[in-house]
Every structure is written in structure tokens, then in C-alpha cells.
A = this chain, B = another copy of it.
């Protein structure tokens, strides 16, 4: 029987399916990560909370214990785990998407902290991918390298207020070339990371060529220093009452912001190309963290329903009604979701994100709803304690609720990424059915029978 410590967190059977796809180094690192999380990161969570003040100074706070853990992670080689050498040969680490996916689940068990500690936090991860793939040497030196070292943070500025930006062609922020400068004017919100004092750069998408007949060539991406004149952070947006300081998700007005034309990424009109590449693997990582959150919630639920101090009407909670069934369903939901996402991660490894769009789309709409369900059941088991600040459950739920909206709402993934792609299978299906029907006709004629009407599969 496998003795890898991951089987404390996933079933042996799902590990058995993927173990042969892990390199020895991947396996070792996974084991090391588990030890690090159990022995150093999770025990420091409480302290990290205490080191974050409740008043407005928290927007300027850099939590000391997290900085210490980052140093430790670097020493241990648990750093930039998300960036696969396969796709980013120059800056990447040794791990495949599949290997990192398993690690990402573990990181996601306790909120954002662990991801930050190993320098695998959104939006930095996607931003580093963009810079690694499309950045000039100069851009990489200035922004990518300090990001890879975890010295600075970054923001990703796409979503806009007052429009439906789930259709990115609606974006209105204007990018205008004046001499050797790009002038930026626009009103964005939900700009993650923009509240953080360590953030040095915004990767911003805007409209540079509004009259281009090809709607997918109207956008460009530029790098905006966080302290450029005209970058006005208006307020943090809240998610179900949470403001996620110190990173935050901010409303920002870009008011005649000027950056040198050398801050353009990849080229004029390449905005769409850039953001589409950016979103693939990141979605899988989000999904795995969501599975980690769900899995941790189930473990918490197990503790609660077997807690003798929480008996009601003379019975353990697990002896009441449908509690056991809820637990069983949660287990099944988690296992099936994990396998789904791991198969998508493997597809990315084999065929890049572009060859895995259906798999990514499935994961993107399937996993958040699944995880919300698991966590909601855990909240219900915890009662009032489940909705408040004494457990991570409510916050975890609120974060996952936004996953059904961010990076494209569920409906887009259902309709476009998965549904429309399924429709493309019709040709093959119809052809197969016709071939069967043709042979059926021969058989029936030979047997002297007329056909009835059953369709074929």
C-alpha cells in the first residue's frame, strides 16, 4: 500500500491513478510541502491573523510571520511551484501542471496564506506567466524577476465598472499613443492586489484600436507602475462584507496615466491573445485550491459532528437525520471533482491550455458549485459558529462564490467552452449513427425484415 503522505488528503485510489505521472522529484517535493504546511504554515495562521490589525492600518500591514515563512519556503525549494518549466523553460520550475495541481489543493486548504508563502498567489501567478511568455528582456528584468523572488506584488487590471466586462470586447479604457508615451484613461474595479503596498505594477488591458473591424484586435496590454501619476485607487470592493486587506480588490480610476511605449506587452492589438493564454492554467489552480477548501471543510465537519460537546437531544450530530449522507455526498463530490481537474491538468501538460479548453471549461463551472455545496453543509453543521469569524468557513464560501463570476461567469463556461464544443461533436456522432444505420439496413434486408425507428447512439 502506498505510503506517500498525500494519501492522508486524497484517496489512495485517486493517487494510484496519477502516481506514475509524478517524477521522483515531484513526489519528494509534494511530501516536503505537506510537512512544511503541517509543521510550519498552518500553525502560524493564528499568529498571522493576530498580526493583521482590525482598523484601517491593516491596508499598510506586511504580516511578519508570512515574510518569515516565505524565506523558509525559498530555502526548502518550495517556491514558484506553479510555473512549469515545460511551458516556461527559462524561468520555470521542474513541476508539471499535474504535479502542481495536487500541491495547489493542499495550499488551498487554509485560505490565501499558504499560496502566498510559496509565491503562488493570484494575481501574481498569472502576471508572472504573462511576463515570462511575452515580456521583453527589459520588462522581465524590471518586473518579472522581483516577482519571481517574491519581493514585489502586482495587479491585473481588466474588469471595468458600468459595463458587462464578462464580454471583454466591452472594455472601454482607452490607450492612446502620444509620441513615445501611451496615455491611459479608464475606470476599472475589482483590481485584485491593487490595495497592497508592495504592489509595483498593474498589467492593464485597454482599447487601443476601437475601430478595428476585428473585435479581438482592438485591445492591448500595457504595464503600469503602481505609483504612476493618475492612478487613483478609489476604494476596496467588498465580497460579502470582506475586504481582503491588505491585497483588496479595488476600484481604480486611471486618469491620464502616461507610460513609455516600451511598457506595451507583445504588440498593439495583442491584448486578447495575451489574456486568453493567461487564463487557462490559472483556472485549474483556482479549482484545485477550491477542492482543497472543500476538503478542509469536510474535515472540519467530521470533527464537529463527532464532538461530544455538541450533542443535541442526547445524540451526536452525526446520529441525526441526513448528516452522514451529507458527509458521504461531500466525499463523493470532492473525489469526482479532483479527478476531473487532474485530468484537465494532464491535458494541459500534454497539449497546452489551448488543447485543454473543454476540460478547463468543465472544471471552471463544475468545481466552484461543488465546493460551495460542501462548504455550505459544513457551515450548517457548525451552526452559528459556521457563519462567523471563528471559523474560516464563511470566508471560504464567499471567496468561492466569486469564482462563479470571476474569469467568466458560469454561464459563459457552460455555453461557450463546454456546450458549444460538445455541439461540434455532432458531425462525428451523426456519421457513426449513419454508418450503423446503413449496416442495420443490410442486415434487415438479408433477414427480410422492415426497419422500425430506433435511433442510434
Contact = CB atoms under 8 A, between A and B. Distances in A.
Interface of A: 1, 8, 11-14, 16-18, 20-21, 38-40, 42-47, 49-50, 55-56, 65, 109-110, 159, 162-164, 166-167, 170, 189-190, 237-243, 296-300, 302-303, 306, 309-313, 317-318, 320-325, 327-329, 331-332, 335-337, 339-340, 342-344, 346-347, 350-351, 356, 358-359, 361-362, 365-366, 379-380, 383-384, 386-392, 394-395, 397-398, 401-402, 404-406, 409-411, 413-415, 418-420, 422-423, 425-426, 428-430, 432-433, 435-437, 439-440, 442-444, 447, 449, 451-457
Given A13-B347, A164-B317, A365 B332 contact: yes
Contact of A404 (B299, B332, B335, B380): B380
B398 A325 contact: no
B13 A346 contact: yes
B339 A340 contact: yes
Contact of A411 (B42, B320, B411): B320
Please provide the 5 A-B residue pairs with the shortest distance between their CB atoms, ordered closest to farther.
Answer: A241-B241, A324-B419, A43-B439, A339-B339, A322-B322
Contact of A303 (B56, B162, B302, B426): B426
Copies in the complex: 4
Nearest to A437: B43
Contacts of A362: 328, 331-332, 335
Contact of A327 (B38, B237, B419, B453): B419
A164 B310 contact: yes
Contacts of A50: 444, 447, 449, 452
Contacts of A328: 361-362, 365, 413-415, 418-419, 422
Contacts of A405: 380, 383-384, 386-387
Nearest to A315: B167
Nearest to A418: B328
A327 B394 CA distance: 27
B440 A321 contact: no
Contacts of A380: 404-405, 409-411
A440 B44 contact: yes
Given A320-B415, A324-B420, A419-B328, A238 B42 contact: no
Contacts of A426: 302-303, 306
A53 to B, nearest CB: 12
